A and B are shown apart, each in its own frame.
Chain A
Amino acid sequence: MASVNVPDGLRYTKDHEWAKNEAGKVRVGVTAFAVEQLGDITLVELPKVGTKVEAGKTFGTVESVKTLSDLYAPLSGTVVAVNDDLASHPEYVNDGAYDKGWMVVIEASDASQLDALLDPEAYKKHLAESDH
């Protein structure tokens, strides 16, 4: 899976979400690998600003022509921003998983949670081991 884009500077979950530290707040989306597995994305359902999310629990869903998948929060905290563009442009996730396809920004209840997530090397290793 060497061809799949796993940018440096981000943290990852085994469920294929990425998390980016932005001065204490954490931007979250799904990885290029997740997008490749999902195919064309047709609907993204996200929580409202102010929603409390819990690490490892679902915070939304993403639907593609192939399947419907849950989105799992990489860390606990409160949603402080939501990418509203995805409601009318779900294809942004296909076009830019790491930029315009971002999903939510979470204010972490404890910023050290990020350290517990996979670093790029560990995530690449996870992808290789999953043998997809």
Chain B
Amino acid sequence: MSTLKHASPGLQFDEQSIFERGAPGRNAASLPKLDVPAVDVAGRLGGLARKASAALPEVAEPEVVRHFTRLSQWNYSIDTNFYPLGSCTMKHNPRVNEWAARLPGFGSAHPYAPARGIQGALELMARLRTILAEICGMDDVSLQPAAGAQGELTGLMMIRAHFAKLGRSPRKVIIPETAHGTNPASCAVNGLSAVPLPRSAGGVVEIGEVAKVLEEHAGDIAAIMITNPNTLGLFERNLPEIAKLVHEKGGLVYGDGANLNALMGRARPGDLGIDVMQFNLHKTFTTPHGGGGPGSGPVAFKSFLTPYQPTPVVVKRAGANGEAHYELDDDRPDTVGRVRSFVGNFGMMVRAYAYLREMGPDGLKQATDLAVLNANYLAAIVKEFLPIAFDETCMHEAIFSDKDVKKATGVQTLDLAKRMIDYGFHPPTVYFPLVVSGAMMMEPTETESKQTIDWFANALRAIVEEAKLDPETVKKAPHHTRIGRLDEARAARKPVLRWSPNHEG
């Protein structure tokens, strides 16, 4: 391993499960003396009473604290280092968001509180909807879906409800191979079937291809689901013409907003012809992502889809005394119904709102510009030693292939990714998108400095050099971790999903 100044020895994972700690009879609870009559539990529960112990961990408080603190220290997170996962938009989570989410009126609001007791929370939701609608050029937003894929599901449910109202039931959805990976699953869950659109030579969807599929499935196309920029990091430059054509043929246009970080403040999906889309607050709008969640996937839509949005909807009404107040409206006969308990992941809405107010319109534009600049800067360095899938100006991410290094040394994407861990970096997204052989997908986001991007690129360059001189070291990586290369195939073929006392770990 070369001596890079800013690389640290790898990730470290080694901690017994909490069930293997402690000793019989030890506990961390100190209960008061029983001052009520004892209850015969077995008598009350009959056959349901537990006969053997539940085998809960028997540990003292320091053991509990150390166990979970160690686990947290051995974790890798956006708070510890650069997270270049393409397509994931792993950006910094500003601390001001956390401050806002912990304000008692937000953090302690009870989900069953009546509307009159949570006016501030409802107002925040109404304001967030307005801001998100403005950013994407749509008419309104439902904040309820709990994650991006649930947003897709909800958007497609609304599309189906729209067609049902018109007395139609088209069953097919066109999905380019460069769209987000969750799109076909969202179709399937909706009882729709995906019609894949093969990747064009230029990487973007071509209008002729769409026209062909529309013809082939005439009358049965509910929508096209298009991700812009697409998973190759390219702007779908034909989108307005494609949207026009799909609309002419009676279909709708669903926009996957997962990559909105490259457009925010600069281009509006609604202006490009999209009818309904989801946001990923945990990507674009800096709420925690990847284990720190939960996520939040609001759906934005044009006004003709408003009747179908999930309920309840926050509405502003004039009260008897003439003063406006917010209410939760359930009386929407055409709604697709509720998709999430209560109002959705409210804490994420507060964080996103705090971010949006902190940034303002100019700040959002600047964030987008820097996200694109950072991706192009990283791409310009990396393409010196790894072939870039599309050698043109990229948006927020760029994709590279292992084909040259694999041909020359036998080292492939998986090996390069594992070796990144030895250099103290989280690997990029690998083997996605599927349309690039041995893909490595990198997305630095606007929150990484030039130095961090340089250190990351230097480490990757060092590994590609190393592959030529000493391929075995790279193929057997990682070496600087508690556990070496995991047998992923065996884990998938014979998974052990739960710890049990008899299992020899």
**Which residues of A pack against B, CB within 8 Å?**
37, 39-43, 63, 65-67, 90-91, 131-132
Contact = CB atoms under 8 A, between A and B. Distances in A.
Given A132-B403, A132-B437, A91 B431 contact: no
B498 interface: no
A1 to B, nearest CB: 10
B492 A43 contact: yes
Contacts of A131: 403
Contact of B431 (A41, A67, A90): A67
Interface of B: 403, 414, 431, 434, 437, 488-489, 492-493
B403 A91 contact: no
B493 A90 contact: yes
Contacts of A42: 489, 492-493
Given A40-B488, A65-B488, A91 B437 contact: no
**DSSP class of A's interface residues: helix, strand, loop or mixed?**
loop
Contacts of A65: 488-489, 492
B38 to A, nearest CB: 52
Contacts of A37: 437
Please give me the 7 A-B residue pairs with the lowest Cβ-Cβ distance, nearest first: A40-B489, A42-B492, A66-B431, A65-B488, A42-B493, A132-B437, A65-B489
A96 to B, nearest CB: 16
A57 to B, nearest CB: 13
A43 B488 CA distance: 13
Contacts of B488: 40, 65
**DSSP class of B's interface residues: helix, strand, loop or mixed?**
helix
Given A40-B488, A42-B489, A43-B493, 5 more contacts: A39-B414, A42-B492, A65-B489, A67-B434, A91-B493
Contacts of B403: 131-132
A41 B488 CA distance: 10
A91 B489 CA distance: 9
Nearest to B495: A42
User: Quick one: which of A39, A41, A43, A67 has the most chain B CB within 10 A?
Assistant: A39
B362 to A, nearest CB: 42
A67 B433 CA distance: 10
Contacts of B414: 39, 66
A44 B489 CA distance: 13
A119 B189 CA distance: 40
A68 B472 CA distance: 28
Contacts of B431: 66-67
A54 to B, nearest CB: 15
B196 to A, nearest CB: 10
A89 to B, nearest CB: 9
Nearest to B490: A40
B407 to A, nearest CB: 9
A53 to B, nearest CB: 18
Nearest to B432: A67
A41 B489 CA distance: 7
Nearest to B196: A70
A127 to B, nearest CB: 12
Contacts of B492: 40, 42-43, 63, 65
A67 B177 CA distance: 14
Contacts of B493: 42-43, 90-91
A39 to B, nearest CB: 8
A66 B432 CA distance: 9
Contacts of A91: 489, 493
